[in-house]
Amino acid sequence: MDREALVLRNRTLAQAFHATPFKHRARRLLLQSVKSLPVRRSQPSRTERILLIRPDHLGDVLLTTPAIHALRTAHPQAEIHALVGPWSAAVLAPYDELDAIITLPFPGFSRTPKRGLRSPYELAWRSARQLRQVGYTSAVILRPDHWWGALLAYLAGIPQRVGFNLPDVVPFLTQAISDEPIHNVRRNLRLVEGWTGQIASEGIVYRFPVGEADRAFVDSYLSEWGIAPDQRLLCIHPGSGTWAKRWDESSWARVADTLTEQLGLPVVFSGGDHELPMVRSIVEQMKTPACVMAGDTQVGQLAALFARGQVVLGPDSGPMHLAAAVGAATVTLFGPADPAEFAPWGTRDRHIVLTSDIGCRPCNVIDWGGDDPAYHPCVREIPISRVLEAARRAAQASVSPG
């Protein structure tokens, strides 16, 4: 298939993917009818108690933290609780801006199979009864399209419910904010501006607190590979949540070899348990030795590793947002997602984004399922030479004063 035909094919499929299917239109009618049901208000509270609802995983949760910080700064006496999936509790645990972290296996985000059409609504009803006892004064639905979270806040009788004005969400809100295609850090901040006021760029705080125990773990682990505690690192996190975002393993091997020689830095590969075979395959193709930490780090330990990185490389993924949050320079390879909304937060000299020029990106279809990967070359088309040049620039920016 020639390039023009490929672009047309992918654009057509992406358009169909983003169209509202019949079952979602039917659900919309159901949600409208739920809105007419009488709901008892939550227990009255003399304390301002705000519930932040975020069902997502590592990257999206991290991009919420500037809004959490701004909310705490503006309202130091309020109780701020975060409702997240069990998979994200460790991400928010180091932030002392939060008074409580509550976990819930959000439908559509949990890997547990859905037990039936009624199960998401039954879970919402049961969970709402528990939240009602706490007595929240406000709820913020941080994911733009999260109708289930908005429904939950409504059923819990929370008096003030803030979210974006998307069709399935807006029926359950008391304050609907217009959604705009801006960076997710700014998008999240817009939802709390009723408490904080507008926040200028220089006032945005994006950070992940690294614990001393995690630093000690990383230092000890690397010392077994002959890497001293004061050595800076070249970190590569080659995995991502979907194959459509990944670069070729052979390309990572060549980049690691070249940069190890050019930058004089030891290279460390990170990743989850399921990414360990990929990392081992990359290392086997290299000519120089590499340290493998894939499968051996929790979130805090991964943060401590990246904090030692002079530059962190990888495809679009949550760990790249973590690297930016601990102050490491980054080079991120983007494919289907739009970097204008999802790039690591920070200045473009320290956080370099690379994309191909294929005309169907960004399609914002993150999971192409069983489609032939050959039809989705957007990340793999990024040449090795561009990654090397960007890594050298980012590494230099990392050591430059200021």
In this predicted model, what pLDDT tens digit does every residue of 339-392 receive, in sequence order? Answer: 999 999 999 999 999 999 999 999 999 999 999 999 999 999 999 999 999 999
Lowest mean pLDDT among 29-38, 182-191, 267-276: 29-38
pLDDT mean over 63-68: 98
Q: What is the pTM of this model?
A: 0.95
pLDDT of residue 329 exceeding 80, the answer is: yes
229-287: pLDDT as tens digits = 999 999 999 999 899 999 999 999 999 999 999 999 999 999 999 999 999 999 999 99
Which pLDDT value is given to residue 102?
97
Which pLDDT value is given to residue 111?
67
Per-residue confidence at 217, pLDDT binned at 50, 70, 90?
Answer: very high
pLDDT of residue 115 exceeding 80, the answer is: no
Instruction: Name the residue with higher pLDDT: 117 or 360.
Output: 360
Measured in whole angstroms, the distance separating CA 74 from the mean position of its chain's CA atoms is 25
pLDDT of residue 35 exceeding 80, the answer is: no
Mean pLDDT over each residue of the chain, to the nearest integer = 94
Which pLDDT value is given to residue 120?
87
Please, which residues bridge with residue 233 across strands? 309
Which pLDDT value is given to residue 401?
58
pLDDT of residue 402 exceeding 90, the answer is: no
Per-residue confidence at 113, pLDDT binned at 50, 70, 90?
Answer: low
pLDDT of residue 227 exceeding 80, the answer is: yes
3 state SS for the chain: CCHHHHHHHHHHHHHHHHCCCHHHHHHHHHHHHHCCCCCCCCCCCCCCEEEEEECCCHHHHHCCHHHHHHHHHHCCCCEEEEEECHHHHHHHCCCCCCCEEEECCCCCCCCCCCCCCCHHHHHHHHHHHHHHHHCCCEEEECCCCCHHHHHHHHHCCCCEEEEECCCCCHHHCCEEECCCCCCHHHHHHHHCHHHHCCCCHHHCCCCCCCCHHHHHHHHHHHHCCCCCCCCCEEEECCCCCCHHHCCCHHHHHHHHHHHHHHHCCCEEECCCHHHHHHHHHHHHCCCCCCEECCCCCCHHHHHHHHHCEEEEEEECCHHHHHHHHCCCEEEEECCCCCHHHHCCCCCCCCEEEECCCCCCCCCCCCCCCCCCHHHCCCCCCCCHHHHHHHHHHHHHHHHCCC
pLDDT of residue 288 exceeding 60, the answer is: yes
pLDDT mean over 127-156: 95
